[in-house]
Structures are given as C-alpha cells and as structure tokens.
C-alpha cells in the first residue's frame, strides 16, 4: 500500500459517491493510484480466483487485527463491527447513521494520526458494497492503524501486519 510513516504526505477525504475514504497526494492533489501497488495486485488476483465471500472474509480479518479488548458495542466501531458480523442487510442503516463519524475520522482523525479513526475506517471498509474495495480499503486502513498505534516501532508493526495479510491471501490460493 503506502509506505510506512508517510501519512503526512497525503490528504484523506471521504467520497460520499464512492462511499469510501480516498487518499490524495498533497503535492499533486491526485488520488493515489492503487493498482500499481504489489499488495493491491495480490488482493485483486486473489479476488479473481476466489469468491466474493473470500474478499469479505479478508476485509473482516483486516478489521479484526485492529480490534481491541476495550471496544464498546455502543461505540461507532462496535456498531459497525456488529453489522459486519451479522451480514449484508444491516450495513446500509448503520453506514447512514454513522456517516458524520466516518467523515470526521477520514478528514480529522487520520491527519492527526489517531489510531481509533483508522480502526473505525477499517471496520467501515468491510461494509463497502464492492467486495474488492472492501478488501483493499480494509488492508490500507489497518496499516494506518498499525502505524498510529505503535509509534516508536511503527515501521516494524506495519511490516508485520502487512506480512500477516499477505500470508492469509497466499494461503487462500
């Protein structure tokens, strides 16, 4: 995805048409191209070889890596996680109810390097209508969570998380 400790080089906005957080390069204002990144290519390849359910499972696995013991079920993250666990039907309602929190997390939380914002966006990614985007965005946001929550050793934490995700994708093949 994006190299470690580089969140300051990017803007994060929430695109309401696409229903996802979008990463923009601060210098060009252009969206960061995902297709050239090796792990995104692997996610896409696995998605072509496996079922839609497999991409959803990968997105949930990414979100599960960010879940802490203290997550309260009444929190926005907890509400989304319950919807993810229950299946497709409750997603629309919960996504609409939490739209303001999601926008704040993308626009304010990520630039401030808030791990909770990255966690919320990781779980939110799982609910994207397109399973491939769900997988790609969940992988990306879980990286930001690892980067933000492990300050002194963020590069090592991100690499370990990335490796676990790649191993899971390769095991799927």
The 10s digit of each residue's pLDDT in 33-87 is 666 678 888 998 988 888 888 899 999 999 998 886 555 677 888 888 888 887 7
**Cβ atoms of 123 and 84 closer than 8 Å:** yes
pLDDT of residue 171: 87
Pairing between strand 20-25 and 10-15?
A: antiparallel
pLDDT digits (tens, 9 = 90+) for 143-163: 889 888 876 656 788 888 888
The C-alpha angle 4, 6, 7, rounded to 5 degrees, equals 115
Give the integer Cα–Cα distance in Å for 31 and 170.
Answer: 28
Q: How many CB atoms lie within 10 A of CB 122?
A: 30
């Amino acid at each position: 995805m994006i190299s470690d400790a580089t969140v300051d080089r990017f803007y994060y906005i929430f695109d309401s048409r696409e229903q996802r957080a979008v990463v923009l390069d601060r210098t060009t204002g252009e969206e960061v191209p995902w297709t050239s990144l090796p792990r995104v290519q692997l996610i896409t390849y696995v998605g072509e070889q496996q079922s839609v359910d497999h991409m959803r499972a990968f997105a949930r696995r990414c979100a599960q890596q960010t879940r802490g013991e203290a997550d309260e079920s009444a929190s926005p993250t907890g509400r989304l996680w319950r919807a993810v666990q229950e299946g497709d039907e409750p997603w629309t309602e919960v996504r609409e109810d939490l739209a303001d929190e999601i926008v704040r997390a993308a626009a304010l939380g990520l630039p401030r390097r808030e791990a909770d914002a990255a966690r919320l966006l990781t779980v939110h990614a799982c609910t994207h209508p397109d399973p491939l985007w769900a997988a790609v965005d969940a992988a990306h946001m879980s990286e930001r969570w690892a980067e933000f929550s492990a300050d002194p050793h963020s590069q090592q934490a991100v690499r370990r998380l990335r490796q676990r995700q790649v191993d899971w994708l390769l095991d799927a093949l």
